[in-house]
Amino acid sequence: MGKKNQIGLDEKQGKVLADKLNNLLSNYQLFYINARGFHWNITGEKFFELHLKFEELYTDALLKVDEIAERILTLGHTPLHSFSDYVKTSQIKEVTQVSKGKVAIESVLDSFSILLTLEREILAISAEANDEGTNSLMSDYIKQQEKLVWMYSAFMK
């Protein structure tokens, strides 16, 4: 059995989890900035509805950014904290000049696909590491986002 970190988890597994969480953190930072841009720039028939929905998304993303960074710290590692690191690390890319609702929602759905894939990967690793804190966090995120995918997909029909 390997050396343990400050919360009693295997240090090597903790490092793997911290690295994966830093990747997730980067993706949430890009998701946040994209949702913020959609909120500011949305126009058209569904303006009022989408303006509020994008605010909900970026507000939630901001909370998750903090939770993920704090989880990385709890594992004994340092969260990424520069935008240049986020842009280099993130699979979600910056989206600019979007004002049409369906284009913005397509981007949100694409981002959720990336986030869910990463969260499921972290969930599997955290389960193997007996890291209930990370496991619980990912499980909660997945449950919430699966419902949002269903709802935003219904909007697109």
Tell me what pLDDT residue 137 has. 98
**Average pLDDT of 29-36?**
98
CB burial class (10 A; 0-12, 13-18, 19+) of residue 114?
middle
**Average pLDDT of 17-37?**
98
Tell me what pLDDT residue 2 has. 80
CATH number of 11-156: 1.20.1260.10
Over the stretch 91-117, which tens digit does the pLDDT of each residue have? 999 999 999 999 999 999 999 999 999
Residue 44 has pLDDT above 90, yes or no: yes
Tell me what pLDDT residue 16 has. 98
Q: Hunting for tokens 């890319």 — which residue is that?
A: 93
State the chain's mean pLDDT as an integer: 97
**Average pLDDT of 122-147?**
98
Residue 1 has pLDDT above 80, yes or no: no
Residues 6+ apart with CB under 8 A from 101: 42, 44, 45, 46, 50
CA distances in angstroms from 82 to 13, 61, 85, 86, 89, listed in the order given: 24, 17, 5, 6, 11
**Average pLDDT of 62-90?**
98
Hey, where are the domains in the chain? 11-156
Tell me what pLDDT residue 96 has. 96
